[in-house]
Amino acid sequence: MNKSVTLDPLDRRIVAELQKDASLSNAELAEKVGSTGPSCWRRIKALEDQGVLKPAIRLADPEKLGHAVNVLCSVRMKSHTSESIDAFHAFVHTHPQVMECYLMSGEWDYLMRIVASDVSDYEHFLMRTLLKHPSVAGASSHFALSVTKYTTALPV
C-alpha cells in the first residue's frame, strides 16, 4: 500500500532545507526556498498535518556522548507467536542503546543497530541482556569499523 503524498517543487525544497537544518527561522527558510514567510509557514503546517514532516530534533554526536561503537546485530527468534513478538518489541523499546530495529526477510528475523561505549559494554548487553530474553534464540554481531556515510535526510 503506497502512503506517499504528492509534493510540488516548493514543498520539496522546504522539506530538503528542513532536513539539512531544522533550526532555520521561517524568514530564513522562505528566503532559501524562494517563497514568502506566511506561505512557508502554511506549507510547513500542511506538511506536518500530512505526516510528511515529523517533530524537529537535534542530532547528538555519539562519540562525544561515549557511544563510539556501532554494532549491527542480527537476531533470530525462538518463536513467532504474537506474544513473543510483542515481548521482543517491548524489550527493544526499553533499551536506549538499540538505536534502530527492523523486522527482516531472510534467514534472520531482526536487524538492530546498537551503540556501545566499547566492545566490553556491547558484550555485556549481548550476553546478559539480549541473549537472556526468552524470545531470542540467537544473534550475530558485526562491528562497524568506521562510518562511510550517515544521513537522516531522505531524497525529495
Cβ burial, residue 26 (10 Å; 0-12/13-18/19+): middle
Q: How big is the CA angle at 75 (ends 68 and 105), to the nearest 5 degrees?
A: 115
What's the number of domains the chain is made of? 2
Here the contacts of 9-13 (C-beta below 8 Å, separation 24 or greater) are 10/34, 10/35, 10/39, 10/43, 11/43, 11/47, 11/52, 12/156
Does 41 share its domain with 101? no
Domain of residue 74: give its range.
69-143
Per the CB < 8 A criterion, the answer to whether 30 and 39 are in contact is: yes
Query: Is 79 within a domain?
Result: yes
By DSSP bridging, strand 136-143 and strand 98-103 are unpaired
What pLDDT shows up at residue 3? 84
Q: List, run by run, the mean pLDDT of 10-residue segments along the chain (156 residues).
A: 88 98 96 97 97 95 96 97 97 98 98 98 98 98 96 94
Distance in angstroms (rounded) separating the CA atoms of residues 107 and 141:
14
Does 19 share its domain with 79? no
Structure-block grid coordinates of residue 36: 514568502
Does 135 share its domain with 77? yes
Does 73 share its domain with 42? no
Query: Is 103 within a domain?
Result: yes
Query: Is 148 within a domain?
Result: no
Query: Is 56 within a domain?
Result: no
Does 104 share its domain with 139? yes
User: What is the pTM for the complete model shown?
Assistant: 0.88
What pLDDT shows up at residue 1? 64
Does 96 share its domain with 34? no
pLDDT digits (tens, 9 = 90+) for 126-139: 999 999 999 999 99
Query: Is 23 within a domain?
Result: yes
Query: Is 20 within a domain?
Result: yes
CATH number at residue 119: 3.30.70.920
Query: Is 115 within a domain?
Result: yes
Does 76 share its domain with 134? yes
Does 77 share its domain with 132? yes
Does 102 share its domain with 43? no
